[in-house]
Amino acid sequence: MKPKTQQRRLRRFRTAEQLESCIRPKWDDIPLLISPAAALLSSQTHAFLKNIPVLQFDVKNQRIFLRRTKYNDIHQEDLFIGNRVNVFSRQLHLIDYGDQYTANKLGSKKERTLALIKPDVVTKIGDILELIYSSNLIVTKAKMTKLTWSQAADFYTEHQGKPFFNNLVQFMSSGPVVAMELMGDEAMSIWRGLLGTSDPAVARREAPQSVRAQFGTDGIKNVGHGSDSPAAAARETEFFFPSTIGHGPSNTAAFTDCTCCIIKPHAISEGLAGKILNSISAAGFEISALQMFNMDRVNAEEFYEVYNGIVTEYPNMVTELCSGPCMALEIHGTDAPKTFREFCGPADPEIARHLRPTTLRALYGKDKVKNAVHCTDLPEDSVLEVGGACACCALHTLKRHP
């Protein structure tokens, strides 16, 4: 479609009183325009934040693909380039803004930065995630990894030659770290503000609620790192989440004495990931690997294949698993498949709340489909599921950077 023709058609979705955002997704290689009624300049803005009316337009065939209808499971914070969302069981990959208006209104609020959690506080990742979510930032990528000495030196190359360089590199390669890409309005300054000044002793005096004040030890063991410029954010994010498959630091999955846990998309969307990680750690389980990824429908069907024909909720379980980003965890410990499955609780959160009220599904689940977490049911499948989740993570990286 010619740009001017496309713009004329887009005007039909708008009035002088209500301007709508318009994003360009793809579904099965069909180019669409999706017009969520964000009503950014109208009094209806807040009314539509939780229940966004959605309209889809088939650009290639010049026709309405989906008439305007309310859809409860899309939120405004889900609408960013690169994300995948589900609309009536169709997984849409958001590839571009539909017009300059949307790029100006939404793109300006989508600053990205790298947040790196250092080895001394990886066990506090749940607390740190809760602070991030409470600051209206979105975690778009996350990975636990173990840096080699060479990788740590490359990441901190700007400090080479400084007195603390060797100690810093030695510390950063001494244990696992968690890298995250954060997104939001002024994400860079908000994350650096959450961290506080680089010296934890000073932070405890000047900003006692900051992360470094709470968990930091000294100028090297100071909890985390945050990008200090857009160029640095782009370089550092590329370092941990490279555009070329097979490059960059690998995940920390050990595939021994372990089981698989996946925090489901609804729990990620509701900002529950930090609370769930805290509950897992408080129960004495070790999180030995962590990575966020999006699962497509084919992989979700294969992952849940054992439930096909056995569990009546199977189709909805598949739809939920590919409805947004998941967080895959490798849980390590003695007899982990059995003990962690018990800790997750019954698949039905209502039953869990009556019989086992302290389990994960009792605390964070909503129903038998949106029950917060998936865990391995059969001990013999534990390593297989961890491997399957890791394979999906690698596939997601490949799809994100075609």
Closest by Cα among 363, 176, 162, 394 to 293? 394
Q: pLDDT band at residue 91, thresholds of 50, 70 and 90? A: low
Query: 3-class DSSP state for residue 104?
Result: helix
pTM of this prediction?
0.77
d(CA 44, CA 37): 9
Domains of the chain, by residue range, sit at 3-107, 111-240, 258-400
- Active-site entry in 159, 225, 247, 401: 225
* Same fold? 111-240, 258-400: yes
Which tens digits make up the pLDDT trace of 103-133? Answer: 666 665 578 999 999 999 999 999 999 999 9
Strand order in the sheet with 30-36: 63-71, 52-58, 30-36, 23-27, 90-97, 84-87
Q: Which CATH architecture has domain 258-400?
A: 2-Layer Sandwich (3.30)
Say if residues 312 and 359 touch (Cβ distance below 8 Å): no
Q: pLDDT band at residue 73, thresholds of 50, 70 and 90? A: low
Q: pLDDT band at residue 381, thresholds of 50, 70 and 90? A: confident
Q: What are phi and psi of 204, to 5 degrees?
A: -65, -25
Assess whether 93 carries a catalytic annotation.
no
* C-alpha distances in Å from residue 176, one per residue of 223, 237, 319, 343: 13, 17, 33, 25
* C-alpha distances in Å from residue 293, one per residue of 268, 299, 343, 395: 11, 12, 24, 9
How is residue 106 written in tokens? 């939404």
Q: Which CATH number fits domain 111-240: 3.40.50.1220, 2.160.10.10, 3.90.1150.10, 3.30.70.141?
A: 3.30.70.141
Q: Per 3-state DSSP, what percentage of the chain is helix, strand, and coil (rounded to 5)?
A: 40, 25, 35
Q: pLDDT band at residue 80, thresholds of 50, 70 and 90? A: low
Beta strands in 245-380 (DSSP E): 258-263, 286-294, 325-332, 373-375
Q: Which residue has the tokens 């997104």?
A: 183
Q: 360: which residues sit within 8 A by CB, 6+ positions away?
A: 276, 279, 280, 343, 344, 345, 372, 373
